[in-house]
Amino acid sequence: MPFPRSGRALQSLSAAAMSALLLASAMKHFRDPLFFRQVVPDYLCLEGRDDGSEPDRRRPFAVMTREEWIALSGLLELAAAAGILVPPARKATATALAAMFTVFLAGHVDALRRAYTPVGTPGQRTVHTLRLPLQAPLILWAWSLRKPASSPVGREPGAWA
């Protein structure tokens, strides 16, 4: 006999797994921010000059330091880890997550580009070559959580059992 709410149970399990992944990543943002440093594009970062003077404000998209971007993305992942578990908020959270993972592609592409310059190391090349393609399944997974759980076969949503 099939479980009467197997579609919902599977979606809830998928949302819980996504939440656990996001929570682990958010914690890593604060415990090991250096891990994320290379995936924040330079053009987003206010960085001080080598002489310690004011940050260079010539970068048009630079509104925060690299460390602030890392902390903000960790906070966003933490909020998403909670939001994805709440069924009424799941569609909005999943949509925002898919958008966030898509935006993160820019950082991964930039990190991969820099890894293959003369200053890049073989380790960076390996890490960023593997890290970039992982974004596609994350985007698709988040997008899949936008769909409402399917009803059991033979019953319409809202019908009496």
Whether the predicted model's global pTM rises above the 0.85 cut = no
Q: Do the beta carbons of residue 156 and residue 150 sit within 8 Å?
A: no
Integer CA distances (angstroms), 64 to 39, 55, 104, 142, in order: 15, 10, 16, 27
Residue 55 is classified by DSSP as B
Q: For residue 154, give both structure tokens.
A: 């033979």
Number of helices followed by number of strands (H, E) in the chain: 6, 0
Mean pLDDT by runs of 10 across the 161 residues of the chain is 66 95 97 93 74 59 90 97 96 97 94 92 93 94 86 49 41
**Whole-angstrom Cα distance, residue 43 to residue 48?**
13
pLDDT for the residue 86: 95
pLDDT for the residue 58: 67
Q: Is 93 exposed, middle or buried (0-12, 13-18, 19+ CB in 10 A)?
A: buried
